[in-house]
A and B are shown apart, each in its own frame.
Chain A
Amino acid sequence: MNNMPNIEQANTMTESKISANKVQVYYGDTHAIKDVDIEIQPRSVTAFIGPSGCGKSTFLRTLNRMNDTIDICRVEGSIKIDGEDIYDPKVDPVQLRAKVGMVFQKPNPFPKSIYDNIAYGPRIHGLARNKAELDEIVASSLQKAGLWEEVKNRLDEPGTGMSGGQQQRLCIARAIAVSPEVILMDEPCSALDPIATAKVEELIDELRENFTIVIVTHSMQQAARVSQRTAFFHLGILVEEGLTEDIFTNPKDKRTQDYITGRFG
C-alpha cells in the first residue's frame, strides 16, 4: 500500500491540509501537549503512534475542537485547516465538525434505524433538499463504507443490532455522509476482532483517495499497513514525524527507535 513514494513526495510540496504550529494543550494546570508542529498532507493517511497516555488522542481531538466540551481544557498555538485558523473566534465548531469528521474507539451508533443513523448528519447540516437526495446520500455513504450489500434490505432496523465490526463501519459511513474533507479516527479498530479490523483497514485505504485521514493507533503494525506518514508522540511531545517507511526502518530519534523495537510502550 505504501508503494507510491514519488507521488507522496510531490504531495509534500503542495499545501498541507492541516498545519499545526507550536500547539500547547493544558488540562487545568497540567501541560498535556507541548510544542507540537506538524503538517498533515491531503488525501493521505497519517498515523499517530506512541505509548498509552502520550497525548496522541488529546492532540487528535484538538483538530476538530472536540476538546471544547471539556471545561478545563485550554488550547494554545495555531492550527490551520486549508489556511484558516480553526480556533479563530469567528469559527463555529459546528461548521468545523462538518468539515472534519470523527470516528471513535468504541462504535457508538445511535439507537435509531440504520437509515436514520446515516441521515442524521446530512439532515442537520441541510445537505439534502428532498427525500430522494437524502436516500442517495445514505446509499452512497453505505457503499463507500462497504456496508451497502449487507444492510440494503434492512435499513429500518436499529443500528445497535449489528456486530461490532459492522457498527464501526456504520459509524464511518455516518461520518462520510456529511462529506467531510478530513476524517479523524481515534483507535477505530481497538474494539474489533481481526477480521473486522482487516475490513476497516481496507476501507481506510480506499477512503484516502478522497479524504484526508488521521488515525491514532496503538498498533505499530497497523500504522505500518495503512499510513503514508507517521508521527511518534511521547509524553506530550511530537518526537518524530515522517514517511512511514522511514520511521519504521530508519528512525532518527533514539526514543522512536526504543519504542519501535519494543523497549517500552
Chain B
Amino acid sequence: MTDTTLTPPSGNANAPAPRRIQSILELDPLTKKRNAAEARFKLYGIVAIAIGLFFLVALLWAILSNGLGAFSQTFIKVDVPLVQSQIDDAEKSVVKTSKYRAIIDEAFAKELAGANITTDMSDKDLQKLFSSGAAATVRDFALANPDKIGTTVTFDLIASSRVDGYLKGRVEREDLAEDKNLDAAHLDLADQMADAGILEKRFNWSFITGTDASDSRPEQAGIGASMIGSLFMMLVVLFLSLPIGVAASIYLEEFAPQNKFTDLIEVNISNLAAVPSIVFGILGLAVFIQFMHLPQSAPLVGGLVLTLMTLPTIIISTRASLKAVPPSIRDAALGVGASKMQSIFHHVLPLAMPGILTGTIIGLAQALGETAPLLLIGMVGFIASNFPDGVAAGFFAPNSAMPAQIYEWAKRADPAFYERAWGGIIVLLVFLMTMNIIAIILRRRFERRW
C-alpha cells in the first residue's frame, strides 16, 4: 500500500488519528447531547401517535354526544276519546287533519285541567307544542283500528322539535325570541307538563324504523327507509361484484398469459382503485341514467355504480388470497388428472374462500359509506318518505341510502336535523363496525397458515 495521495494525511499513515482516549464509563458530553436528541426524537413519535389517537377520540366523542340525542324523543301523553261522530265528520271534510287536531286540542285541554296546569294560551298556540304530524298519527290509528272507535285511547304524541330541543338542552329560552312558533310561555308550560308526567323523553324507535320527513317535521324523520335503500344497494353490489371480481381474479392469477392485454388490464385495475369516487358518480350518471335510462335515485343504479367502485378492491384482495394457496395444491390436483379449471374450482377456490369473503366484506363496508357517487345519480334533494312496496320496487323505485340521507339532513341547516344527521352516523357506524368485526372473526377462524 503506497502513499501517493493528493491530500497527504498528517503523520504516520499507520497511526490511528489522534483522539481523546477516555473511559467508556464516563459519558462524553457529546454523547449526552446525542442521547437527548434521541429522547426528543422518540418523543415526537409518541406525540404524533397521541395526536392521532386524540383526533380519533374527539371524533367519536363528537359523534356520540351529538347523535345519541336522536335516539330519544319527547312525547306528550294525551287521552283522546275516539268518538264515531267526530271521526265521520273529520273524514268528510276536505282538510281532514285540522279536524283531528281539534279532537286532540279538546283532549289536551282536559288533560291539562286534570293535572291542574292552568294556562291562558289559545288552542292554536297550544297546538304548537305538538308536532304537525300528531293529527296524522291519530287519524292513521283510527282508520286502522275501527274497533277502537268509541273508546278512549292513550296516545303518545310526538312533541314539536323545539320542545324536544328544549328538553335535550339544545334550545334555550333566548333562542326562541325570534321563533315564530313558540315562545318562553310554551317552555314554561312544557316544564309543568314534564313535572306532571304528561311530557317525557323516551327512546325513539321510529328514528331507526321510520321514514324521512319533510323540512318542517324533523321530529318525525327516521332513517329506516334509507336503511332499506342501502340494503338493496348492498345486495346489488354483493351479487355483482363478488362473482365478477372472483372471475376476473381467477383469470388474472391462473390463466392470463404475460402479454400486453394482461398488462393493460392490470394497469387499469390499479388505476381504477385510485380514481376519486366522484368520477364514478359521473360515469354512473352518464351511462346508467342518461344512456340506459334507468330510474334516477334507484338503489339498482347506486348498486351498479358502487359495484364498479368496489371491483378493484375485491380483485386485489381475491388475487392475494389465490396467491396464498401453495402451488403444491394445484400440482396435486393436476397429478390425479384434473383439468386446470377443475383444479381451480374444486381445490384452489374453496381454500381461498375465507380470504375472499373477508376482502368482500371489507369492500362492502367501504361501499356502504360512499356518498359522492350517490349524490350524482339523484339521491340529493330526495325525501325518502315511503318504504318500497315490494322487492322489485326495492331495486327500481327511487329511494335514498344512509350516507345520502345523512347528507340531506345536514343540508337542512336545522339543529334538529343536525341531531338526526349525527344519529344517522351512529347507525351507519354500527353497521360498519359489525361488518368489520365479522370480517375479522372470519379471518381469525378460517385463516390457514400454509
Contact = CB atoms under 8 A, between A and B. Distances in A.
Indicate if A touches B (C-beta under 8 A). Answer: yes
A135 interface: yes
Contact of A90 (B1, B9, B25, B35): B25
Interface in B1-45: 1-7, 9-10, 13-17, 19, 21, 23-28, 30-31, 34-35
Nearest to B21: A181
A94 B34 CA distance: 9
B19 A179 contact: yes
Contact of A84 (B1, B3, B24, B35): B24
A51 B447 CA distance: 40
Contact of A99 (B10, B24, B30): B24
A136 B3 CA distance: 13
A128 B212 CA distance: 75
Contact of A139 (B9, B15, B27): B9
Interface in A123-144: 124-127, 135-137, 139-140, 143-144
A139 B16 contact: no
Contacts of B21: 181
Given A124-B34, A136-B9, A206-B1, A144 B14 contact: yes
A95 B9 contact: no
A84 B6 CA distance: 40
Interface string A82-114: 101010101110111001000000000000000
A209 interface: yes
A179 B6 CA distance: 22
A81 to B, nearest CB: 7
Given A136-B7, A139-B5, A84 B16 contact: no
**Which of A90, A143, A146, A181 has the most B CB atoms < 10 Å from its CB?**
A143
A152 B3 CA distance: 12
B5 A206 contact: no
A136 B10 contact: yes
A84 B9 contact: no
A137 B11 CA distance: 12
A146 B1 contact: yes
Interface in A194-212: 206, 209-211
Contacts of B24: 81, 84, 86, 91-92, 95-96, 99
Given A84-B23, A143-B9, A94 B15 contact: no
B17 A137 contact: yes
A143 B30 contact: no
A148 interface: yes
Contacts of B28: 95
Contacts of A126: 30
Residue from A82, A95, A139, A206 whose CB has the most chain B CB atoms within 10 Å: A95
A135 B13 CA distance: 14
Contacts of A140: 9, 13, 17
A209 B16 CA distance: 10
B315 to A, nearest CB: 34
B5 to A, nearest CB: 6
Give the one of B6, B10, B19 with max A CB within 10 A: B19
Given A88-B25, A90-B27, A95-B28, A143 B35 contact: no
A101 to B, nearest CB: 11
Contacts of A127: 17, 19
A182 to B, nearest CB: 12
Contacts of A81: 24
A139 B3 CA distance: 11
A127 B35 CA distance: 17
A179 B16 contact: yes
A81 B23 CA distance: 10
Contacts of B7: 135-136, 139
Contacts of A137: 17
A170 B21 CA distance: 25
Contacts of B10: 136
Nearest to B2: A149
B30 A84 contact: no
B29 to A, nearest CB: 10
A181 B16 CA distance: 9
A135 B10 CA distance: 11
Contacts of A181: 16, 21
A7 B382 CA distance: 98
A88 B14 CA distance: 32
Nearest to B38: A94
Contacts of A124: 34
A143 B5 CA distance: 9
A135 to B, nearest CB: 6
B245 to A, nearest CB: 39
A3 to B, nearest CB: 19
Contacts of B30: 125-126
A91 B27 CA distance: 7
B17 A91 contact: no
A171 B7 CA distance: 21
A205 to B, nearest CB: 11
Interface of A: 81-82, 84, 86, 88, 90-92, 94-96, 99, 124-127, 135-137, 139-140, 143-144, 146, 148-149, 152, 179, 181, 206, 209-211
23 contacts: A88-B25, A90-B26, A90-B27, A91-B24, A92-B35, A94-B34, A94-B35, A95-B28, A95-B31, A124-B34, A136-B10, A136-B17, A137-B17, A140-B9, A140-B13, A143-B3, A144-B1, A144-B13, A179-B17, A206-B14, A209-B14, A210-B15, A210-B16
Given A92-B27, A126-B30, 13 more contacts: A86-B24, A92-B35, A95-B31, A99-B24, A124-B34, A137-B17, A140-B17, A143-B1, A149-B2, A152-B6, A179-B17, A209-B14, A210-B15
